[in-house]
Amino acid sequence: MRIQPRQQLLEVWRAVARTCYPGDSWQWGGRDQRNSISDAEQILCLMGPATQITTFKVDLPDETAEDVLDAVAALGDSVEIPQLLIQVLTQYFQAYTDESGAPVFSGGSYFSAGAQEPTPEQLTLNVVDSYSVSIRLALASIGFVRVFRNVVRRDALRRAVEELESLASQRLTAAMLGLLRSFAVNTFDVSSEYGQNLCRMVNQRQLTMRQVVDDLQRELREIKAGLRDLTVGIGQVTDLDNENKLFECGWSWGIIAGAPRIEVGAQQVPQPDGVAEPLPYLYFTVVALDCIQDLFSDRTRILGLLDDEQQTLARALQIRWDLTQSYWSRIARFGRGTWPLESMPWRTTDGFESDYLTLLIASIMINDLASRRASTSDLQRVAELLRELGARARITRRPLPRDPAVSLHQPGFELVLEGSEALGGQRLTWYLADFAPQLLKQTLRVAGLLRDIPTRGRTIALADQIWEGHLLRRRMAGGPAAQLWDQPSQIYEDLKPGGDQPSWYYTERVVSCLVAAADLVAGPPLPSPVLADLAGDLLAEADHLFDQELLSVSAEAGPSMGTALQTVRATLRRAHETRSELPGTAAVLAMDVLRDLRRLASARLDASGTA
């Protein structure tokens, strides 16, 4: 792999340290100004790797790696860095808390409203992206604090640590409640526009409408049953049993209008009313699925990051996670032959079409494949699909003049947030410009899942191509935010250069790609069956020749012979030990043994004059 996650991450950290901490105070903001999402993304550029990659940990000052300390020297030494992080995290959690002490999840400057400015009320609307990033940040903070507090002795610092943990935990609970209340099930008539769009999308074999609907109903029966049982934070879902109705499920952009409040134990968490229409958005669904996965990851469970109440909420979210993932994965692979997903671009039930949507569904499906130990052929198909997306989005291919695909990268795919006009003002929109990092991340995940060597090799080559040919070239070359992202005009001539401030939106997504790459590299290589056979045969011969050598010479053959045989014995043992995991290494070791033994045998032949 040509992506070198450790070196690249250190470069990013160096740039982040330089940009965010130029003097003695933390600089918030960036190209998109401050909001609850961008600020969290900014800290996650540090906290993400620090909590997910062992060698980037900074929570035990005694064990922080030297090169990591060198990279972030601008932030202080190993003792100062964790203290600074605590300060900055606390600042974040306090900044996004309102006067009543309730956490705020507003989209702020990430909202746009066409030609007009969003109204001040609209800017305060909660958005699922903020729930998601808050959950990730809160989990990272709590995990960090749990380890760090063991080495803290000073009272003042101990109090700071405790305060941070309680702030993070409050925000976590509030974000989980928000997520539960943003979950939407949309039911519609088969004959409605929604129904027709869905049927057309999944019907890849020109079946009659009736057949498609019957097949869909059969395929989705269990999911329907599951959805019917949902009670927490969701209004009554009607019509699910009606055979003339179809449905889709997932997350809307914010809290659903009229979503009931959720009974939580002792804590009183304010639960604002929502305005979002109960329509699942693929993007917010993917974002929600990703962060829910973190709620029941190994790390969360081992470190015990959730309290009892949060565990109850996490279970409720997990049910929605299962149902949603399985729904979209079934839709994407519906029928026999060509998958609906392979018919690009994907069209949503409300009639939007984009390659970005295909990528989103692919990412849900990859999640599903990962949890089901998917077959090699399924994975190969997904890998092929990602390759084609790379070409279609002009990442691995050059754009045509005035290529519409370029708009995927800037300004991005535009989502209309239905219901956001309820508080007055224009209907809000949301731009999704993260096609390339999203594609890279999915490519790396598929590469990690693939069990056949040639396809994995090709998929890794695709990842390299996206990285070197696209993402690296979008990195800002100079200015105050050099080495950070994002400057797509460096690739696409049609685009105007953006500001010289870093986009934390984009940088954080690239960082999480690098974390995924580190994950992939950390795993063992795929053992090749061909090499394993070869190693086995070589070892059989080497073992035999060695036994012969022992039979003919030896114990009394003197120290230098003794050393030679001892080396051969040790090498053989090592070869046997590595054979199942690293057959190639084992084969090379066996060859070394054969060469050494041959040298002895040749010398002997020479001596006897038969050479």
Enumerate binding residues for another protein (CB under 8 A).
60-64, 66, 78-79, 82-83, 151-154, 157
For residue 419, the SS3 value is coil
What minimum distance in Å lies between the beta carbon of 62 and another protein? 3
SS3 of the chain: helix, strand, coil, percent, to 5? 60, 5, 35
Distance CA 113, CA 115 (A): 6
Q: Look up residue 140 and give its two tokens.
A: 């990272």
Distance CA 91, CA 89 (A): 5
* Maximum distance among all Cα pairs of the chain, rounded to whole angstroms: 103
**What's CA 375's distance to the chain center, in Å?**
21
Closer to another protein at the Cβ: 89 or 379? 89
Closer to another protein at the Cβ: 64 or 443? 64
Closer to another protein at the Cβ: 158 or 598? 158
Q: Shortest CA distance to 194 belongs to which of 257, 280, 255, 254?
A: 280
Residue type, 484: L
What minimum distance in Å lies between the beta carbon of 592 and another protein? 15
CB neighbour class for 37 (10 Å; exposed up to 12, middle 13-18, buried from 19)? buried
CA dihedral 474, 412, 184, 227 (to 10 degrees): -60
Q: Shortest CA distance to 363 belongs to which of 433, 295, 430, 445?
A: 445
Closer to another protein at the Cβ: 158 or 397? 158
409: phi then psi, degrees, rounded to nearest 5: -90, -35
What minimum distance in Å lies between the beta carbon of 553 and another protein? 30
Closer to another protein at the Cβ: 54 or 116? 54
Closer to another protein at the Cβ: 388 or 592? 592
Q: Shortest CA distance to 453 belongs to which of 530, 549, 388, 566?
A: 530
Closer to another protein at the Cβ: 82 or 390? 82
Closer to another protein at the Cβ: 79 or 95? 79
Closer to another protein at the Cβ: 148 or 504? 148
What minimum distance in Å lies between the beta carbon of 61 and another protein? 5
Q: Look up residue 98 and give its two tokens.
A: 């309102």
What minimum distance in Å lies between the beta carbon of 204 and another protein? 54
Distance CA 98, CA 92 (A): 12
Asked if 235 and 271 count as a contact pair (C-beta separation under 8 A), the reply is no
User: What is the CB neighbour count within 10 angstroms for residue 292?
Assistant: 23
What minimum distance in Å lies between the beta carbon of 74 and another protein? 17
Closer to another protein at the Cβ: 570 or 603? 570
What minimum distance in Å lies between the beta carbon of 515 and another protein? 22
Distance CA 64, CA 60 (A): 6
Q: Shortest CA distance to 108 belongs to which of 123, 127, 122, 129?
A: 123
Distance CA 111, CA 431 (A): 8
User: What is the CB neighbour count within 10 angstroms for residue 515?
Assistant: 20
What minimum distance in Å lies between the beta carbon of 154 and another protein? 6
Closer to another protein at the Cβ: 153 or 402? 153
Closer to another protein at the Cβ: 152 or 232? 152
Closer to another protein at the Cβ: 86 or 176? 86
User: Is the peptide bond prior to 273 cis by the omega test (within 30 degrees of 0)?
Assistant: no
What minimum distance in Å lies between the beta carbon of 145 and another protein? 13
H or E element in which residue 353 lies: strand 353-354
Residue type, 350: D
Q: Where are the alpha helices (DSSP H) in 220-269?
A: 221-228
What minimum distance in Å lies between the beta carbon of 80 and another protein? 8
Q: Shortest CA distance to 39 belongs to which of 102, 114, 105?
A: 105
What minimum distance in Å lies between the beta carbon of 520 and another protein? 23
Distance CA 354, CA 360 (A): 10
What minimum distance in Å lies between the beta carbon of 419 and another protein? 48
What minimum distance in Å lies between the beta carbon of 83 and another protein? 8
